[in-house]
């Protein structure tokens, strides 16, 4: 996220609004009322320990079918497989926007304003204590460019001999500075690091480096525009890092290289002289080709999209940007990179990615990639979180941290459903980020603050912001993914089993608290010992609270705070036996982005489904329409009409006129498994005109045994 993107300050108004979707993209009269996420939610003590929470002593619980509360069901014995992935990869999902070399980890230095850390060993406490992995560094490559001389024989290019010398110096310093012993302890946590370039001075426009020269702007067949940039990046990767096993010097080499961080914002959207997007995308091709000349062991991608608002201007942003990038540069990219942020307070609007919108965004990208190349290219989400524009100029507040924690968890739950396609995800959370201080106001996105920043506290030492609660919440989760389902799309779930433990993860996309029932339908039942319930939510002052409760009874009835996340660790007396399978198969249609016309059927072919004896399925339709248009089309699959639900993930997006400018999201339609065929014909008809179906996919789950949900 760029600092300049956050300068626009908006007035933020808290509103009441419908939540959870409906038959149209404006809240119908019957919609349940909800509050915005900065309003209060119930504390965990009343949710878990009060008399209103039912705790059953029966390990295998099943609440009566007349119960109207949402129902969450799990099967411990059924392994959930997506592609070839069936376990929780902390290296991929529990990460931090930092590297082991950052001086921010160590107190009493310039990056810490000379103040000490409260933690005697901060890097160990975070990385080992909460089992976190390093993610991304966009500063080192920029700093080192400013240290290099120009090649006198090749103006506009770095001197390769000087890069050899400076790279050797950097490798030696890494292994021989005062913190070397400590930082090398964590090399196992940066095996798939990301690095990326910034616009300046990497975009060749005459901007000088600290040495007083600029990268070549030549654009000829023998030296395409960007050649000098790619040449330097290749030199940096080849000469500034460890050479591999047996090399005693240098940081391990990064795996992922982003050609440029969020290029279109600076070069197009915020520029007085916008650069044609095609030039930016061809620049990616040139840089990638140059890097590969000296580095065969890195993966190169882009274009690190800042604002993937694909539906903007009736999908013109998709057609004129991301589709163009895939068409021009996709074949030369090893991965795509993208940034995804909630905007809870932007121009007096609440615009949330989490929920149906992020699903539609990723489905559109995946489907077009499938159509174009026959497969889905790996996706790197190198930043995600929330930008709270109305609080940008405020000092640190727990309320701002709370909104960002809500975004972290809500977005992560969607990413976890794509473990086979997503290569890496990084919540945008630098450590101290003093480089981002503006007019005395510290950078908003930080893991650490000085003690004196909180009301009633004094002292300069560095302590955790509330953002540490993200890592505390997820600190224990690991193991094999198992079957879990929710009857309410606003309660998003995931589950993993490891030895004698099962981790049940529930995220509430509603702004208000929700009660739900918990049901265990596993066929084998080791003796239940107890449950530990971690619950992250907002308190009555809108500050984040992470509470932990232990129950010796099966928690068959619980309540989760508005926009909250709950991780229930079920402890058993013996190891969980997983001897059945649930194989997920997500298949996209052969066509996409179809314009909606009144009573005009839209047809999609989804082929290659492999039904089993037991299973279930969902049709996913990405829809972009003006508010007030229907979100409940008539849908037939292989000639059989199916019921289209009124509800969908997350808020209704209209939000009483204070939400998104239009609806863009996925609606998920249950499909009777018995009507699936190898090749399936889907027909979708709307009774009104306007907008597009952006994507269409069948998500089928093939079980090895019969099951109950």
User: Could you tell me which residues come within 8 angstroms of residue 221 by beta carbon, excluding any fewer than 6 positions away?
Assistant: none
φ, ψ at 278 (rounded to 5°): -60, -35
19 pLDDT higher than 50: no
Domains of the chain (ranges; CATH) run 3-14+584-703 (2.60.120.1200), 39-87+477-572 (2.60.40.1180), 90-473 (3.20.20.80)
The 3-state DSSP class for residue 550 equals: strand
Q: How confident is the model at residue 65 (pLDDT cuts 50, 70, 90)?
A: low
**Predicted local confidence at residue 69, as pLDDT:** 96
Asked whether the predicted pLDDT for residue 61 surpasses 70, the reply is: no
Per-residue pLDDT for 6 more than 70? no
Mean pLDDT confidence for 324-342: 98
How far apart are alpha carbons 688 and 598 in whole angstroms?
5
Average pLDDT over residues 652-670: 97
What pLDDT band is residue 246 in, cutting at 50, 70 and 90? confident
- Of residues 290 and 9, which shows the higher confidence score? 290
Residue by residue, DSSP assigns 100-147 as TT-GGGSSSSGGGTTPPBSSTTHHHHHHTTTT-EE-EESSHHHHHHTT
pLDDT band of residue 403 (cuts 50, 70, 90) is very high
Residue 34: pLDDT band with limits 50, 70, 90: very low
For residue range 563-610, list pLDDT tens digits in order.
999 999 999 999 999 999 999 999 999 999 999 999 999 999 999 999
- List beta partners, residue 463: 449
* Mean residue pLDDT across the chain: 91
* Backbone angles phi and psi of 193, in degrees to 5: -65, 155
The mean pLDDT value for 630-634 works out to 98
> What is the arithmetic mean of pLDDT over 243-256?
93
Bigger pLDDT: 327 or 44? 327
Percent of the chain at pLDDT exceeding 90? 89
| pLDDT, mean of residues 197-222 | 97
Q: How do residues 83-107 score in pLDDT, each as one tens digit?
A: 999 999 999 999 999 999 999 999 9
Task: Give residue-wise pLDDT tens across range 475-511.
Answer: 999 999 999 999 999 999 999 999 999 999 999 999 9
Query: What pLDDT is recorded for position 658?
Result: 96
Alpha-carbon gap, residue 342 to 385, rounded angstroms: 6
Kindly tell me if the per-residue pLDDT of 24 is higher than 50. no
Q: pLDDT confidence of 524, banded at 50, 70, 90?
A: confident
pLDDT for res 63 = 47
* Residue 195, strand partner residues: 137, 257
CA atoms within 13 A on the CB side of 524: 13
Residue 66: its pLDDT value, please? 76
The first and second tokens of residue 583, run together, are: 């194989």
679-707 per-position pLDDT tens digit: 999 999 999 999 999 999 999 999 999 99
Mean pLDDT of the region 296-320: 97
pLDDT at 241: 97
> In this predicted structure, what is the pLDDT of residue 624?
98
**Average pLDDT for 639-655:** 97
| 395, pLDDT greater than 70 | yes
The overall longest dimension of the chain from CA atoms, in Å, is 81
Q: How confident is the model at residue 5 (pLDDT cuts 50, 70, 90)?
A: very low
Q: Which residue has the higher pLDDT, 21 or 402?
A: 402
Give the residue numbers marked as catalytic: 262, 383
Residue 16's pLDDT is what?
28
Whether residue 50 has pLDDT greater than 80 = no
């Amino acid at each position: 996220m760029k600092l300049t993107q956050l300068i626009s300050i908006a007035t933020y108004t808290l509103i009441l609004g419908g939540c959870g979707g409906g038959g149209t993209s404006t809240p119908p009269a019957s919609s349940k009322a909800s509050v915005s996420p900065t309003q209060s939610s119930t504390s965990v003590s009343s949710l878990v320990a009060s008399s209103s929470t039912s705790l059953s002593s029966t390990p295998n619980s099943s609440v009566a079918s007349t119960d109207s509360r949402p129902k969450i069901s799990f099967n411990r014995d059924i392994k959930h497989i997506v592609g070839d992935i069936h376990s929780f990869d902390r290296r991929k999902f529990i990460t931090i926007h930092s590297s082991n070399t950052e001086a921010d980890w160590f107190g009493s230095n310039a990056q810490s304003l000379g103040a000490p850390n409260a933690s005697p060993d901060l890097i160990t406490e975070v990385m080992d204590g909460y089992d976190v992995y390093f993610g991304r560094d966009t500063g080192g490559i920029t700093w080192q460019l400013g240290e290099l001389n120009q090649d006198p024989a090749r103006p506009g290019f770095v001197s390769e001999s000087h890069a050899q010398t400076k790279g050797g110096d950097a490798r030696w310093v890494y292994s021989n500075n005062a913190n070397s012993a400590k930082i090398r302890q964590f090399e196992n946590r940066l095996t798939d690091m990301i690095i990326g370039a910034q616009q300046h001075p990497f975009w060749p426009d005459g901007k000088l480096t600290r040495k007083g020269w600029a990268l070549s702007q030549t654009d000829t067949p023998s030296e395409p525009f960007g050649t000098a940039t790619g040449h330097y990046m290749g030199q940096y990767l080849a000469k500034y890092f460890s050479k591999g096993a047996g090399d005693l010097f240098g940081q391990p080499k990064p795996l992922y290289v982003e050609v440029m961080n969020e290029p279109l914002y600076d070069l197009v959207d915020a520029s007085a002289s916008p650069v044609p997007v095609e030039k930016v995308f061809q620049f990616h091709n040139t840089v990638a080709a140059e890097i590969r000349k000296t580095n065969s062991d890195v993966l190169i991608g882009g274009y690190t999209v800042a604002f993937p608002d694909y539906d903007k201007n009736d999908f013109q942003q998709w057609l004129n940007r991301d589709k163009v990038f895939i068409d021009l540069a996709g074949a030369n990219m090893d991965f795509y990179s993208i940034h995804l942020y909630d905007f809870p307070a932007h121009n007096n609007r609440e615009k949330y990615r989490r929920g149906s919108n992020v699903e539609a965004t990723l489905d559109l990208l995946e489907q077009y990639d499938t159509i174009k190349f026959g497969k889905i290219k790996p996706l790197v989400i190198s930043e995600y979180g929330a930008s709270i524009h109305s609080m940008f100029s405020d000092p640190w507040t727990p309320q701002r941290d709370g909104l960002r924690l809500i975004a972290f968890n809500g977005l992560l739950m969607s990413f976890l459903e794509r473990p086979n396609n997503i290569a890496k995800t990084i919540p945008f959370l630098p450590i101290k980020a003093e480089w981002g201080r503006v007019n005395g106001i510290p950078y908003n996105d930080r893991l650490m603050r000085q003690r004196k920043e909180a009301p009633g506290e004094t002292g300069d030492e560095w302590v955790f912001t509330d953002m540490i609660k993200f890592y505390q919440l997820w600190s224990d989760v690991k193991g094999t993914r198992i079957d879990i389902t929710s009857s309410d799309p606003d309660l998003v779930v995931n589950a993993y089993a490891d030895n004698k433990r099962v981790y049940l993860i529930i995220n509430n996309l509603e702004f208000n608290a929700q009660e739900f029932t918990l049901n265990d339908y596993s066929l084998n039942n080791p003796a239940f010992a107890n449950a530990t319930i971690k619950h992250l939510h907002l308190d009555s002052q809108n500050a984040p609270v992470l509470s932990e409760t232990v129950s010796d009874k099966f928690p068959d009835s619980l309540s989760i705070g508005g926009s909250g996340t709950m991780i229930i660790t079920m402890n058993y007396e013996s190891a969980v036996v997983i001897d059945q399978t649930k194989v997920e198969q997500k298949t996209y249609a052969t066509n996409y982005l179809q314009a909606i016309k009144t009573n005009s059927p839209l047809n999609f072919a989804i082929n290659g489904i492999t039904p089993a004896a037991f299973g279930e399925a969902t049709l996913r339709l990405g829809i972009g329409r003006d508010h007030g248009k229907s979100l409940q089309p008539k849908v037939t699959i292989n000639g059989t009409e199916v019921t289209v639900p009124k509800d969908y993930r997350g808020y209704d997006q209209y939000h009483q006129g204070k939400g998104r400018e239009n609806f863009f999201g996925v609606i998920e339609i249950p499909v009777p498994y018995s009507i699936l065929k190898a090749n399936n014909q889907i027909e979708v008809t709307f009774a009104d005109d306007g907008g597009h179906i952006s994507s269409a996919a069948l998500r089928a789950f093939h079980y090895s045994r019969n099951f109950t949900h």
